[in-house]
Amino acid sequence: MTDLNTIGEIGLIERIRQATTAPAHRETVRGIGDDAAVFDWGDDYGLLSTDMLVEGIHFDLTYVPLKHLGYKAVTFGVSDIAAMNGLPVQLTISIALSSRFPVEAIDELYEGIRAACEAYKVDLVGGDTSASRSGLIISVSVLGKVPKNLITYRNTAKPNDVVCVTGDLGAAYLGLQLLEREKQVFLADPNMQPNLSEERAYLVQRQLRPDARTDMVHELRDLGIRPTAMIDISDGLASELLHLCHQSGTGAIIFDENIPIDDQTHLAADEFKISPITAALNGGEDYELLFTVPPQEFEKLSANARITAIGYLTADPKQIVLATKAGQQTPIRAQGWNQ
């Protein structure tokens, strides 16, 4: 039997894609392999994304409030739609849960879901419920749309394109480390109060209640920019960059000094003796956008402080590297199996 770790997420997705039959309906434009499936709706393309969150794998209810979890579940799917340069329209939520959850707990979960629906202007239109023997499971499917001339895929980047990211990276991972540390303190002494200082609030918020960057979709449209390729950063910058480069057939040179990292992330990384660059590359759950634009188009973005150029694409698909100030280049690799 083949261990999943030997092929990784990229290999597994490709294996599933190869086992999938060709589309039988002309409305199906694109299936497996991007952030969302694409359908022909006439003037627009329809987009469909699906995400699953499993207790004990994607979240720990020891420190994750159900209201925050509901909001975050919606963010997962909406972020996929934003990565296609689209905006969300409707969503369905399916849950499987055990009898240990009282009715009030489910009310709290859906309070967070409703808050996210209002924030992203998306309608909750259905779903399913089921019993579970392994805790809480949430499945989210989001339907979105994008004008045909603005659709953005992962496989259309070109050599010399500028690689950009929105926001900052690594904060969600350090927020997780803080929460895990407090959990261990609590397990050792349930009378201890959490020690999450106010200056660490940003990191905890980035882990518990991230926001999908639909705002950037609007900004790119206002500037008249259609990225040559785009993907959301859910599994860490390294993993997403590899996805984009492999599908576009390009390489990339990323400059470590250009990767945007918040001051709180730097401080927490030092506290945990973790490289902030490692957190940004492999931490995941930032839900920022990684995208590429032609060099001449980047001028339009240069005044936006929330968008950072971190490198450029090359013609050599074997050259996906992190470059330092000293001129050293290290191959970029995704760390282990990505959930």
Q: Does domain 162-331 have CATH number 3.90.650.10?
A: yes
pLDDT for residue 5 = 76
The pLDDT of residue 192 is 60
Is 286 annotated among the ligand-binding residues? no
Please report the pLDDT score of residue 15 as a whole number: 80
> Which of 331, 316, 162 has the alpha carbon at shortest distance from 230?
162
- SS (HEC) of 144-175: EEEEHHHCCCCCCCCCCCEEEEECCCCHHHHH
Position 338 scores a pLDDT of 44
Q: What's the angle, vertex CA 164, arms to CA 214 and CA 259, rounded to 5?
A: 110
Low-confidence ranges of the chain (pLDDT < 50): 336-339
pLDDT of residue 93: 98
CA distance 262 to 265: 5
Task: Considering only the C-alpha atoms of the chain, give the largest distance between any 2 of them, rounded to a whole number of Å.
Answer: 61
CB 312 within 8 A of CB 162: yes
**Amino acid 246: pLDDT:** 94
Q: Would the annotation count 35 as a binding residue?
A: yes
The answer on whether 211 is annotated among ligand-binding residues is: no
Q: What is the pLDDT of residue 82?
A: 98
- Do 222 and 278 touch, CB atoms closer than 8 A? no
Q: Is 154 annotated as a binding residue?
A: yes
Query: How confident is the model at residue 25, as a pLDDT?
Result: 80
The answer to whether 270 is a known ligand-binding residue is: no
Strands 251-255 and 137-147: unpaired
pLDDT digits (tens, 9 = 90+) for 117-132: 999 999 999 999 999 9
Cβ neighbours, 10 Å, residue 65: 14
Distance CA 51, CA 142 (A): 9
- Beta-sheet pairing, 229-233 with 44-54: unpaired
Type of residue at 316: D
Fold of 4-150: 60s Ribosomal Protein L30; Chain: A; (3.30.1330)
Q: Report whether 285 belongs to an annotated binding site.
A: yes
Q: What is the pLDDT of residues 22-51, one digit of tens each?
A: 777 888 888 888 899 999 999 999 999 999
Q: 218: annotated binding-site residue?
A: no
Return the pLDDT at 147: 97
Give the tokens for residue 100.
């240990």
71 labelled binding-site residue: no
d(CA 290, CA 163): 7
- Residue 310 β-bridge partners: none
Tell me: is residue 58 an annotated ligand-binding position.
yes
80 is in an annotated binding site: yes
Q: What is the pLDDT of residue 339?
A: 41
- Tell whether residue 232 is among the known ligand binding residues: yes
Same fold, 4-150 and 162-331: no
To the question of whether residue 2 is assigned a binding role by annotation, the answer is no
List the domain boundaries for the chain: 4-150, 162-331
